[in-house]
């Protein structure tokens, strides 16, 4: 169950596109046998899984926690709109283990880009970066990457911000 702060954060962007009553945040890893990196959350099935050392009782209290929560909320949103988060995550991440595909989170916002042009992890960071920029005036992402202007985000996220229920926004 989400805290009131987490719920307010999520509703500010995802509006009624998500069934918030179905969201659970676990203080345990999703992958067995320690296969999930400790500093990595996973949201493969509409529920968030954090290593107990990184789990927070309320992710809405600090900016870095807000970013992480909103990134994982994007995967909840993707999942609830019918995107196969588990499968696409499996396909996207193995190459990063050996440096074959680069960083799946890295993105660049260019004129004409739309949210659906980005992979599932880029969407997570774009929306989380936008949230932190618009609420905390953050000029750097949680990863330390300098974020572009708020207008660049609004251009990419325009359709999402007006109608997050649209499945065409999925990667």
Nearest Cα to Cα of residue 124 among 62, 168, 79, 91: 79
Work out the number of other CB atoms within 10 angstroms of the CB of residue 109.
Answer: 21
pLDDT in tens, 20-77: 999 999 999 998 898 888 888 999 999 999 999 999 999 999 988 999 999 999 999 9
Say what percent of the chain tops pLDDT 70: 88
Residue 99 has pLDDT above 60, yes or no: no
pLDDT in tens, 140-160: 666 666 667 888 999 999 999
Q: Mark 43-67 as b/e (b = at least 16 C-beta within 10 Å).
A: bbebbbbbbeeeebeebbeeeebbb
pLDDT for res 140:
63
Catalytic residue among 6, 29, 57, 72: 72
Instruction: Tell me the whole-structure pTM to 2 decimals.
Output: 0.91
104 and 59 Cβ atoms separated by less than 8 Å = no
pLDDT in tens, 8-24: 999 999 999 999 999 99
Has 29 been annotated as catalytic? Answer: no
pLDDT for res 161:
98
């Amino acid at each position: 169950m989400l805290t009131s702060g987490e719920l307010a954060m999520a509703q500010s962007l995802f509006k009624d596109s998500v069934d918030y009553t179905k969201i659970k945040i676990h203080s345990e890893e999703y992958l067995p046998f320690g296969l999930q990196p400790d500093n990595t959350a996973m949201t493969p099935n509409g529920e968030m899984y954090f290593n107990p050392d990184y789990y927070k009782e309320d992710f809405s209290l600090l900016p870095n926690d807000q970013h992480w929560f909103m990134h994982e909320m994007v995967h909840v949103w993707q999942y609830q709109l019918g995107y196969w988060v588990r499968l696409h995550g499996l396909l996207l991440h193995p190459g990063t283990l050996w440096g074959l595909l680069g960083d799946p989170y890295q993105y660049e916002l260019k004129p004409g880009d739309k949210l659906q042009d980005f992979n599932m992890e880029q969407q997570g960071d774009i929306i989380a970066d936008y949230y932190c920029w618009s609420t905390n005036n953050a000029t750097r992402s949680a990863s330390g990457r300098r974020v572009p202007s708020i207008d660049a985000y609004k251009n990419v996220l325009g359709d999402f911000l007006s109608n997050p229920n649209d499945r065409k926004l999925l990667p």
